[in-house]
Amino acid sequence: MNSIVIVIIVFVGYVVAYHTYGKYLARKIFNLAATNKVPSEEFFDGVDYVPTKKNIVFGHHFTTIAGLGPIVGPAIGIIWGWLPALLWVFFGSIFMGAMHDFSTLIISARNKGKSIGDLTGVIIGPGPRYVFQFIMQLLLFIVLSVFALIVSTLFMLYPESVIPVWAQIPIAMWLGRQIQRGKSDLLYSIFALILMYGTIILGVYVPVDLSKLGLFQVLSQHGFVLSNLITVTWCIALFIYVFFASTMPVQKLLQPRDYINSHQLIVAILLMVIGIFIAHPAITAPAINHKAFAAGTDIPGIMPMLFIIIACGAISGFHSIASSGTTVKQLKNETDSLYIGYGGMLTESFLAVLVLLCVAAGLGIGLERNGVLFTGTDAFYQHYSSWATTNSGIGAKLESFIIGAGNLFEFIGIPKEIGRPMIAVFIVSFANTTLDSATRMQRLSLQEIVSYKRSGNKKSIIENRYVATFLVVLFAAIMTFVKPGGKGALILWPLFGALNQLLAGLGLALVSIFLYRKKKKFLLAFIPMVIVLILTIWAMVENLLGFISERNILLAIISIMIIILTAWLLAGGLVSVIRSKHVNA
C-alpha cells in the first residue's frame, strides 16, 4: 500500500471525528458554555493560574503530553506489523484517548482546577484520593528521574542538539516578554522559530560533545567512566534548570517555549507529509509481522504488550495529569477545552501515524548497517530482527524513526547532515518539555496533598512552591544518582508502561462515575475504561510474574501493592455509585 493513501484517510478521519464525536461530547455530554467560570480567573495568581489564549495553551498542552511517547511507542510497536499499530493508534485515540484527555480537563475545570488525584476525593472519597495521589506521585517520580537520564543520553547521542535546546530558553523568554507587551503572539513566535532553526544550523557546525573536553578526558584516564561522567553532568544541569523553570510564572518561560515547540511540531509534520507526498514511498514493512509470532522468537506476545507500549499515540494516563495539572489552570474559556483536550490528542495521534509511516515506508528507502545498504522489507527486518536489538537503548528505539524521517526529508532537498539534527532537536525539545512540566505537576500535586491534610489557615512550609519543587527535584536526583552514571533512574522504569495505562483506566473510571451521577451516557467512558483496565491488569500480572522469576523483590512488592490499591480504588468507586443510587432513589 502507498503511504499517501494512509495519510489522507487518517487525516480526514481525525477531522471528521473532531467535528462529530468530539463536538457531540462537548455539546451533548458536557454542555460546554463560555459563561462558566474557569479556575484561571477564579484563582489567578500570575504564576500557575493564568488565563491564556487557546492557541498558546494548545501549544503547552500538546508539547507536555507528547514528549517521546508518540515517537518511541509506535517505533517499537510496529515490530508486530504496521496494521495492528495503526488501528490501535487511530481508533484508540478517537474513542479512548481524546475522550479521556478532554473529559478530565473539563471535569477539573468545573472543580476549581483540582488535579485528577484530588478529584478522586471529591467524586469518590478520601481513601481513594490517597490511592490515586500515590499512583500519580509514583508515575511523576519515574518520569522526572528517567527523563533527566533520557535527555542526558540524547545530548550524548546527538551533540548537535545541545545548543538549539538550551538556546530555546532565552528565545522563549524573549517571546514571552513580547507577548506580555501586547505584541502579536503568532508573528513573534514565527520570529522565535526562525531564530531557533538558526541555532540548529549552528549546532550542526558546533556540536557540544563533552567527551572531547580536556577535563573529561583527564578524568576518564584516572578510572572514571566517560559516559557516566557526561550523563551525571547533564543530569545535574537539567535538575537545576527544571527547578527554576517550574517555579517561574508560566507566561515567562513555560508557555512561550511550548508555543515555539508547537510551531516546531507543525513544521516537522508538514515536512514529513510533504516528504511522503513527494517520495510517495510504498509501505515495505509487513502489515502483520509473522516472524514476531513464530516459535523461538524473543518478541513478546502482541496481547497485551502492544496496548502498553503504544500509549501516548492512543491513550495515556499521563495526559490526565497534564490536563488537570497545568493545562486547566491556563484555560481562558471553558469552550476552549474541546480544541485543547480533544484536538490535542488527535494531533498527537496524527504524529504517531506519521512516525509509523516513517518506519514502515521511509526506513525502506535505505538503512545502512556496517557499510551495507538495506532497502525495502530487508531494511525493516534488519532493524527489527529481535526484541533485544530493537530495545537495546534509547538510540535503538529512535533510530528507525530518525533514519526514516531523514530519508523523506532528502526528497524535499534537506540533506541528512541538516535533516537528522532537525529531527533530533525536535525529539529532545519535547522530552525536555515533559521534564519541565512533570516537575511543575508533581509540585502542584504535592501541594494539594499537604493542603488537604492540614487544618486551619496556617500553611505548611511545603505549600511554598520553592520548597515543594526543591523536595521534588531532590528526591528525583537521589533516585537518579543512587547508581553510577544516573542509572538509578531505571530501577522503577519497568513499572512505567503498565502504571501509565493503569492511570488512564482509573481516569476513565472517574469520568464514568461523574457522568453516571450527572445522568449522562456514562458508557462512553465506561466501555473504554473496561478495555484499558483489562489490558493493563493483564500486563501488570505478566510483569509481576516476570519480576518474581527474576527475583526482583522490590518491583514485585511494588507491583503487588499497586494491584491491591487499584482494587481498593475501584471498589471505592463502586461503593460510591451504589450510595449515590440509593440517595437518588
In this structure, are residues 34 and 334 in contact, taking their beta carbons and an 8 Å threshold?
yes
Q: What element of type H or E holds 471?
A: helix 465-481
Nearest to 140 by CA among 325, 346, 391: 325
Q: What element of type H or E holds 374?
A: strand 372-374
- Grouping H, G, I as helix, E, B as strand and the rest as coil, residue 289 is coil
C-alpha cell at 515: 457522568
Q: State whether the Cα torsion 339-341-344-346 is positive or negative.
A: negative
Interior angle at CA 245, CA 243 and CA 249, nearest 5: 120
Residue 457: the pLDDT is 64
Number of H helices, E strands in the chain: 26, 2
Range of the domain at 178: 3-584
Nearest to 573 by CA among 540, 535, 526: 526
- Grouping H, G, I as helix, E, B as strand and the rest as coil, residue 369 is strand
The whole-angstrom separation of Cα 105 and Cα 97 is 12
The whole-angstrom separation of Cα 355 and Cα 347 is 13
Q: Which residues of the chain have pLDDT under 70?
A: 452-457, 581-585
Query: Would strands 372-374 and 367-369 be described as parallel, antiparallel, or unpaired?
Result: antiparallel
CATH number of the structural domain spanning residue 502: 1.20.1740.10
Tell me how many domains the chain contains.
Answer: 1
Transcribe 67-110 into DSSP letters: TTHHHHHHHHHGGG-HHHHHHHHHHHIIIIIHHHHHHHHHHHHT
Task: Say if pTM beats, i.e. exceeds, 0.95.
Answer: no
The CB density around residue 45, as the number of other CB atoms within 10 Å, is 11
Return the amino acid letter for 451: S
The whole-angstrom separation of Cα 447 and Cα 246 is 14
Q: State whether the Cα torsion 381-382-383-386 is positive or negative.
A: positive
Nearest to 466 by CA among 305, 146, 246: 246
